[in-house]
Chain A
C-alpha cells in the first residue's frame, strides 16, 4: 500500500518564480507550492523595491512630495499626482478653478489609456502574442508625446500641483488630443481583429483565475479586476470627484470574473476614457488653471528671472512651503488599477505628520493565491498579468 502511494503521487515541490523572471511584471517573487504542475499555494514575496516613500514624505514639504508620487505607478503617473494633490487640497479645504478640474480629468484619462495599453500589451506578450505589445507601444507613444507637449516629461510628469496644474493647455495640445481620439478607434479595432477573437488567446484566458464577486470584495480587490467579477463600483461614478459627474460614460462590468473578463474590462475602459476626454475637450472652460493664492502657487517661471518680487515669491514658495491645517483626511480616486487612496495626518505644519498611500497593486496582489489555487503553472502567468501589478507602486 505504502509502496503504491510512493509510485503514484508526486512529491510537492516549491518553485521560486521571479524576482527576475521574463514573464513576471517587475520584481514579483512568487513562491509556488506545486504538486506536479498543479498549484497548491501561491505566496507572493514582495518588498524588493521598497524605498520607504512614506518615511521620506514625513521629511518633505507638501509640494516637494509630488515628484515622488510619479515614481509609484510609473505607467500612469498622472493618476498618482492626482490622488496626492487631491488629498492635500481636501486637507486644506481648497476649491480649484473649473478649467483646472477639466484639465485634470483629461490628464487622468490620458494616463488611464496609457496604463491600460501597457497592461494589455504586456499581458499578450506574456502569453506569447508579441505583436500586440508592439501595437500597444505604438499607441502609447502618441499619448506620451501629448504628455511631453503638456509638461515636457514623458514618464515622471509631476504635472498636477496643489492648487491646480503646472502649465495651461494651448491650442496645439488640444489638436494633438483630437488627433489621438481620431486614430484610436481604428487602432482598437485592429486589436480586436488580432487578439480578442483569437482562439489561442481565448483558451489561455477563459475560465482562468476565476474569482466570485463576494470573494473579490472580501479580499479588497478593486478597479477593473473587481468589475470583471460583476461588481459595478467605480469611484468616478459613485463618489464623483473633479467634474466626472458632468460626463456621460458607462462602467463596463463582466460576468465570469476570469482573466478574459478582466482583459475585456480594460479594453472597454479605454473606449470609455476616450468618450470622457472628447466631452471634456469640448466643454473645456476658460479661466485660471490654478488658484489665486500666492502661498500655494509659485509665480510663472519667466517672470522669476525678470522681477525681484517674483524672485522673492518663488524663493519663499520653494523654501518655506505652505501650512496645512491640523486634521486627518482620506481621499481616494479611481486609478487605472483600482482604488488609490492617500491618508494624510497633518499637525498644522508644512510637512505631513503621517502620509499613507493605499496602493491598489499591493492590495490586489492578495488575491493571487485564491485565483491560482488548483490551476496549472502556465495559468499563473495569465493571472499575474490580469492583475496588472506595477512594483514601483506595490513596494512603495
Chain B
C-alpha cells in the first residue's frame, strides 16, 4: 500500500544502520520485512521509533509463529506503524525453545499484553517484561496451545473426555 519511495526508506535506512544485525530483508506484496538478531532487537526498535524518517510510534502487534522442524524453531513477529509517516514495517526474530527474547515494553508500553499472549500460546518468555504471566489461559494450564505439536482437541482430562491421550502422542 505504501508508495515505492517509502519502501526504499524502510529497507535502506534499517540496513545501513544495522549492517551486520539484519540477517535478511524481504518485500512481499509491498510489505517490508527485516529478520534481525534477537540481541539487536531493542536497539533496532529504538532506532525505528526515534529516527526522523521512520518514526514508528505505534506498536500494532506482536505475533508468535511456530516453524516446527526448523532451527531456530520459533519466530516472533513485530508489526509497527508510523502515524505521522503512514508506513508499516515488520521486524522478525528467531528463537529456539527455551530461549528468551528481549521485551520491548520499555519502548512501547502497548506491547505488554501482546507479549504475554505470545508467552501464553507459545511459551516464549520475554526478558525484562514487567508482568510475564499467562493472559488467556488459567495459570496452571499445561502446555502451549498454538504450538504445532499441541492437539487441536487438547489433552484428555476429567473436563475434556474427547481430548488426546498424553501417552498416545509421540
Contact = CB atoms under 8 A, between A and B. Distances in A.
B28 A363 contact: no
A341 B152 contact: no
B28 A345 contact: no
A12 B60 CA distance: 35
Interface in B82-105: 83, 86, 88, 90
B110 A219 contact: yes
B59 interface: yes
A231 B83 contact: yes
Contacts of A365: 113
A59 B121 CA distance: 17
Contacts of A218: 57, 108-110
Nearest to B148: A58
B114 A55 contact: no
B145 A55 contact: yes
Contact of B31 (A59, A231, A233, A330): A330
Interface string B63-82: 10110000000000101000
A239 interface: yes
A93 B1 contact: no
Interface in A38-58: 46-47, 50, 52, 54-56, 58
Contacts of A47: 135-138
Interface in B9-38: 28-29, 31, 33
Contacts of A396: 136
Contacts of B47: none
Contacts of B112: 366
A228 B48 CA distance: 26
Contacts of B88: 330
Interface in B117-170: 117, 121, 135-138, 145-146, 150, 152
Contacts of B1: 239, 241
A285 interface: no
Interface residues of B, number: 37
Given A55-B152, A233-B83, A50 B137 contact: yes
Interface stretch (A147-155, A191-199, A354-362): A354-362
Nearest to B150: A55
Nearest to B111: A220
Contact of A362 (B63, B109, B113, B146): B113
A327 B60 contact: no
A219 B108 CA distance: 7
Interface string A85-129: 000001101000000000000000000000000000000000000
Contacts of A328: 28, 31, 33, 77, 90
A202 interface: no
A217 B57 contact: yes
Contacts of A217: 57-58, 83
B61 interface: yes
A343 B29 contact: no
A380 B114 CA distance: 23
Please indicate which of the listed interface residues B33, B83, B138, B145 has the most CB atoms of chain A within 10 Å of its own CB: B83
Contact of B152 (A59, A343, A345): A59
A343 B110 contact: no
B135 A220 contact: no
Contacts of A233: 83
Contacts of A353: 65
A258 interface: no
B96 to A, nearest CB: 18
Nearest to A50: B136
A329 B29 contact: yes
Given A50-B137, A55-B145, A91 B29 contact: yes
Contacts of B146: 54-55
Nearest to A237: B86
A56 B150 CA distance: 12
A47 B113 CA distance: 12
A329 B32 CA distance: 10
Contacts of A269: none
A238 interface: yes
Interface in A201-235: 217-222, 231, 233
B110 A363 contact: yes
B49 to A, nearest CB: 10
B28 A56 contact: no
A330 to B, nearest CB: 6
A221 B112 CA distance: 12
A332 interface: yes
A329 B28 contact: yes
B28 A220 contact: no
B152 A46 contact: no
A221 to B, nearest CB: 8
12 contacts: A46-B136, A47-B138, A54-B121, A55-B150, A58-B152, A93-B29, A219-B110, A328-B33, A328-B90, A341-B79, A363-B114, A366-B113
The 3 closest A-B pairs by CB, nearest first: A220-B110, A47-B136, A358-B61
Given A55-B146, A218-B109, 8 more contacts: A55-B150, A59-B152, A217-B57, A218-B110, A233-B83, A330-B60, A330-B90, A354-B66
